[in-house]
Amino acid sequence: MCLQSISLITPSLFYLSLSTSKNTNKRTTMANISASTCFVTLVIVLISSKLMHTCFSSPTCPPGYPEQAIPIYKEDIDMMQFAENLEHLEADFFLWSALGYGLDQVAPSLVMGGPSPIGAQKANLDALTQHIIEEFGYEEVGHLRTFVLRPYHCDNNDPFCTFALQLLAGLLGSTPYTSEAGQDAVIRSYLYERAKEVVHPYNHTVAEFTIQISEIRNRLAMCGIKDEGIIGPLELGAENRTITNVLSANYYSLSYMRTLQEILRIVYGTGDKHVPRGFYPHGGNGRIAREFLEKS
């Protein structure tokens, strides 16, 4: 399987606090958003031609989805359903921050009849940052649309399967190829650029906030250090030679891996995969998440 590292409650988004619960029948979203000039003034530096990749469509290319497809494993479907919980959270998180409204207006069919979000607000972003966060929101909508519109069948050359399996791998942090990794890298780069700026009215710097939130995530997950702020001690730096920490990675500079249990402990905010609160007050949906709730 292919999966990429999804930051569920990244230190890079500490300016926004969102609670969401989504499933096919019920969805609750609560947000308490506070923006600061640090987050507002994040800057993209991606103008080097070495960082650009251009694709040109060709009429000679085969169709995107082959006619012949084979079923993927049931366990993969369970994982995809687990991932959908997170995609809903990320979509509303970004959309509300940039636009002041979420999936209910952007893609109501993907909500599947759930109630309107509660308490969500637009963040005070400058134009550049708003465009970036808005793009991230639409990317998450595209991910959700992929799940809804495509059946759970795969072919080796099927783009849906490439995305879906990479996304699954991302839950466990085992591959760096889906767009969530790019989103995380962009935001962490912005925050690192402003690491020493003070976040008002809290009187803490950006770096201090990211460190504290990383410590919270590690404590909730209960599996050691798997998340790091944008500044850290040498022993956590690349090759133990730097205190800069633009990318959070392990001793070998590879993405940290998290289990599904760790993910639930974090997004629930309880440190217990059986006790939902936080981002999912009613718990996640799908077989995996519901089984943990039934065992509580």
Mean pLDDT score of the chain: 74
Q: Which helix (H) or strand (E) holds 88?
A: helix 74-99
- pLDDT tens per residue, range 184-239: 899 999 999 999 999 989 999 999 999 999 999 999 999 999 999 999 999 999 99
Centroid of chain to Cα 267: 11
Percent of the chain with pLDDT over 70: 64
Indicate the SS3 state at residue 94. Answer: helix
List the domain boundaries for the chain: 11-44+71-294
For the segment 129-135, the average pLDDT, to the nearest whole number, is: 94
Q: What angle do the packed helices 127-149 and 74-99 form, to 10 degrees?
A: 150
Give residue 165's pLDDT band: very low, low, confident or very high (50, 70, 90): low
At position 127, the amino acid (one-letter code) is: A
Q: Do 209 and 14 form a contact (C-beta atoms < 8 A)?
A: yes
CA-angle at 264, arms to 259 and 267, nearest 5°: 125
Nearest to 274 by CA among 293, 288, 289: 293
Question: From CA 91, how far away is CA 10, in angstroms rounded?
Answer: 14
Q: What is the pTM of this model?
A: 0.71
pLDDT digits (tens, 9 = 90+) for 15-68: 333 333 344 344 433 333 344 434 333 333 232 333 333 343 444 555 554 444
Q: How far is CA 216 from CA 22, 38, 100, 152, 221, in A?
A: 24, 21, 28, 35, 9
Q: How confident is the model at residue 152 (pLDDT cuts 50, 70, 90)?
A: low
Determine contact, residues 277/268, Cβ cutoff 8 Å.
yes
